[in-house]
Amino acid sequence: MVIDIHHHLPRDWQEYMPRLRDRCAELGIDRVALCTSGPPGAGNRQLFEALQENEDFMLALGYVRLGEEGPGAVDELYAMGFHGVKVIRPAVDYDDDVCMPVYERCALLNMPILFHLGIVAASRTHDPLRDVSIDRMRPAHLDRIARKFPSLSLIGAHLGNPWYDEAGEIARMHPNVYFDLTGSTMKKKPPQFLADVFWWASNEQYGLMGDKHPYEKIVFGTDVSIDLMEDVKQDYETFFDHVEMSPEHRALIMGDTAAAIFGLDA
């Protein structure tokens, strides 16, 4: 099973979903985890409506505004049949005490969380209202969460761009932390740089500090328009070829690890 772990649903989802399904069929992508980032884009209601018509194809990651919404928001998403949670532009640091009840509820309900990490697109219109700070979305903030909730799967987006080394070390330390390579990461950084971030792949002393091989900590995602999905898929394959990755690890990254995270049959 090939799973795209990171794709955004537009407001015009009725026209978009058939096109997405067709393109994924062409690219050999079986399932797509669709998320929203809150207003002014699509919201949880549109995500729910899309899920009703595409349950065989999509995973739904509902948006929660950390620092403003509590565990009740997770209960609502769970009741709607959502598979997990997406967070971005938090009102506080990701590991602030006020967020812990949200994570506790996610752990209880087995709702994995996709964390936007690092840089985020700027908007002169909406940023003053959102009070955005990329420092609140550093990979280091996942450390405390992973320690407090070891049964909760945390997926960090964009390999923490620009804090790549920070992301790599968090992945190494915690068996329940994963990262996708979406965004500009694979365009501005060569395959060897990514291999260096996951340096412990070939280090006997530190290789299993988090009890998992580094290539068990990477998941495939696109986070681009339909027309660019093939290009992102090729970037992943270029990295695989550069490190001479085994077929088993390629399969894990392209979908088997995500299938395990979300309890799907690979």
pLDDT, tens digit (0-9, with 9 covering 90-100), for 22-54: 999 999 999 999 999 877 778 999 999 999 999
CA 113/CA 223 separation, integer angstroms: 16
Counted residue by residue, the chain has a size of 266
Q: Give residue 245's pLDDT.
A: 96
pTM of structure: 0.95
Residue 210 has pLDDT above 70, yes or no: no
Mean pLDDT, range 5-15, rounded to an integer: 94
pLDDT score of 97: 98
What band does 196 get if pLDDT is binned at 50, 70 and 90? Answer: very high
pLDDT at residue 137 in the model: 98
Contact 115, 37 (CB under 8 A): no
Peptide bond before 190: cis, by omega within 30 degrees of 0?
A: no
pLDDT at 127: 65
Please state, in angstroms and rounded to a whole number, the distance separating the CA atoms of residues 248 and 157. Answer: 23
The total of other beta-carbon atoms located within 10 Å of residue 120's CB is 20
Of the chain, the percentage scoring pLDDT greater than 70 comes to 95
Each domain of the chain, given as residue ranges in start order, spans: 3-261
pLDDT above 70: residue 207: no
* Residues 71, 43, 176, 66, CA torsion sign: negative
Supply the pLDDT for residue 201.
81
d(CA 266, CA 255): 8
The strand ranges marked E within 70-174 are: 84-87, 113-115, 154-156
User: What does the pLDDT look like over 77-134, one tens digit per residue?
Assistant: 999 999 999 999 999 999 999 999 999 999 999 999 999 999 988 776 666 667 889 9
Taking a C-beta distance cutoff of 8 angstroms, is the pair 114, 154 a contact? no
pLDDT at position 41: 74
In this predicted model, which residue has the larger pLDDT, 206 or 180? 180
Q: Tell me how far apart the alpha carbons of residues 63 and 37 are, in angstroms, rounded to a whole number.
A: 6
Average pLDDT of every residue of the chain:
93
Hey, what are 173's tokens? 């330390």
Distance CA 77, CA 48 (A): 9
pLDDT at 118: 95
* H or E element at residue 6: strand 3-8
Is residue 266 over pLDDT 60?
Answer: no
> Which architecture, in CATH terms, is 3-261?
Alpha-Beta Barrel (3.20)
Q: What is the dihedral of CA 250, 254, 256, 259, to 10 degrees?
A: 170
% of the chain residues with pLDDT over 90: 85
**Segment among 102-106, 118-122, 143-147, 236-240 with least mean pLDDT:** 118-122
Average pLDDT over residues 219-223: 98
